[in-house]
Amino acid sequence: MADTLFLPASAPGSPPGPPPAAPGAAERTLAVCRAATRLCARLGWAPVTEMPLPNGRRADILALLPDGGFRVIEVKSCARDFLADGKWPDYRAFCDGLFFAVDLDFPQALIPEDVGLMVAEGPDATLLRDAPEHRLAPARRKALLHRYAVVAAGRLVAAQDPAGWAEMRAALRVE
């Protein structure tokens, strides 16, 4: 019996472990976000997560499309998350189309008809409804494209040289 305590849980003859815990809101949000970014990549979109917007909000995903358009994708883990968050209409001013990304357990009837809908199942997502388009003004598009490029490039540099990026950010704050 003592030998079975050191066997991996999947080994034959090992005692059954506790059932897997249901994912919490943070884990569900992360899973839906990953699935939505994968869908963006399959569509030829370039997603940036946790994108700060000029109005002080932060979009869960801002995706740049091949035609230069922008889509904001708001990730929701559950109905309570959706109902408690009234900030999402503020994202419309910074995109050409607004989407929600949810998982299969989300009650889709809560999602308004005037936004797009992505549904995640495991590591993948499906585009169930495209977002109605409302084109950004050229000046706002240019400013948003610049912000997008600066944030994306900064994250790339930070991934390649975390210490150097931290030093540069610290120096920029001092000046």
Q: Dump pLDDT digits (tens) for 75-88.
A: 999 999 999 989 99
Average pLDDT of span 42-55: 96
Residue 112: give the domain boundaries: 23-135
The verdict on residue 18 lying in a domain is: no
The verdict on residue 91 lying in a domain is: yes
The verdict on residue 158 lying in a domain is: no
Tell me the chain's radius of gyration from C-alpha atoms. Answer: 20
CA distance 129 to 99: 9
The verdict on residue 34 lying in a domain is: yes
The verdict on residue 8 lying in a domain is: no
CA distance 173 to 165: 12
Q: How many domains does the chain contain in total?
A: 1
Q: Is residue 166 over pLDDT 50?
A: yes
Q: Is residue 8 over pLDDT 50?
A: no
The verdict on residue 156 lying in a domain is: no
CA distance 3 to 85: 51
Q: Tell me the CATH number at 44.
A: 3.40.1350
The verdict on residue 69 lying in a domain is: yes
More confident residue, 16 or 134: 134
Per-residue confidence (pLDDT) for residue 167, from 0 to 100: 82
pTM: predicted TM-score of the whole model, two decimal places: 0.82
Average pLDDT of span 22-31: 83
The verdict on residue 42 lying in a domain is: yes
